[in-house]
Amino acid sequence: MKTLTLPKVDILGRIILPLPSSKSESNRALIIDALTEGENKITNLSEARDTQTMIRLLKEDPSILDVLDAGTTMRFLTAYSALNNKRKTLTGTPRMCERPIGILVDALREIGANIAYLGKEGFPPLKTQGFERQLTDRIQIRGDVSSQFISAVLMNAPLLPKGLSMELTGKIGSRTYIEMTLELMKAFGVASTFEENLIHVPSQAYKPTQFAVESDWSGASYWFSLLACAREGELKLLGLKSNSLQGDSAIMTIMDKLGVESNFEEDGIRLRKKPVEGISHIDFTHCPDLAQTVAVTCALIGQPCAFTGLESLRIKETDRIYALQQELAKINAGLEESENGVFTVKPASKIPHKVDIHTYDDHRMAMAFMPLASRAEVGIEEPEVVNKSYPSFWEHCALAGIQPQNGN
């Protein structure tokens, strides 16, 4: 097993870091671009493997769409193929074929798509077998499982002959990602409304435009965490905007309570250390991808905190709640379910001199535990998992003064 070793570094200098482009914005922009037949000028697309997979599959247009481990790519291409009369087989890695997709397929079938499962009902692989006519212009879909199911349908909705009204049932999770999708659609000329739990997209055409993808707030979160955990330092992160479409910009508000002050400048955001104010509860319903990063931060700075809104974490690249519990235990910390749906972070104690972190084929596990290098020497197993969203992550660690060393 390959391991990358991070030396202990608890004092940072005044560091300027580039950031990767937003994978979330990039993948949505690519689907919209395909729906306008590539007439747009889109710049600063993400280098993430998920995005590069999307680019390749849209360009090559093969009969079998192998998305590898890219959940967003699977969901977006399923809706794109199904509602645009494309006959495709969609598959991926073994883990990808364990991730449920039934809610999306049911919605697409209700609209009129013909889709068949090739294995277990409700899971990839699957085959889109045509779209003869729109059967309804109003559907219901659960709002508490994955916003990507909702976004996948929405981006295709304007090209449906009758448009589409979508009622979200139950608790709406990751609402900011749904709003991001609608705002991106608006940037390409499509009007919509989102009032309470009802989204309406009239039938209309996308308009070719120019669009520059913002830097990635999810990627920024690891550097907020590193500074919160370090004894000294100042970081500047390039390419972030104050009027971001990304829900993970919530990291600013969270980290303000955990010892990091943020100030926007013309070309990005400057982070400085500040006293920890403390925070007793964080709801991750609309920013679940921040949960691992913040859990590690709280554990390392000694901040007990109750987390809610973690429902979707069990169906990500791995069961992220289980993975966090296993790895936090290695630093005598914990994530304990104190009541149904409420998880409490137990601060770390007696951190070993050297800690090896298992990554569970999950890019965010590798990056979330990087700030542990402020307390101990850290071994990151299978470090290449970061390629899924942030291929230059380890190079950026070196820029921050944490020089990764190849292990076994």
Between the two ends of the chain, the Cα-to-Cα distance in Å is 7
Closest-CA residue to 291 (of 333, 262, 320)? 320
Catalytic, 69? Answer no
Residue 41 to residue 151: CA distance in whole angstroms: 22
Instruction: Catalytic residue, from 289, 319, 356, 361: name it.
Output: 289
- State whether residue 65 is helix, strand or coil: strand
* DSSP E strand stretches across 286-353: 305-308, 334-339, 342-346
Rounded to 5 degrees, φ, ψ at 154 are -60, -40
Alpha carbon separation from 91 to 34, 120, 167, 280, 390 (Å, rounded): 20, 12, 29, 42, 23
Q: Are 343 and 306 in contact (CB under 8 A)?
A: yes
CA 87 to chain centre: 28
Q: List the structure tokens of 69.
A: 């481990």
Active site residues: 289
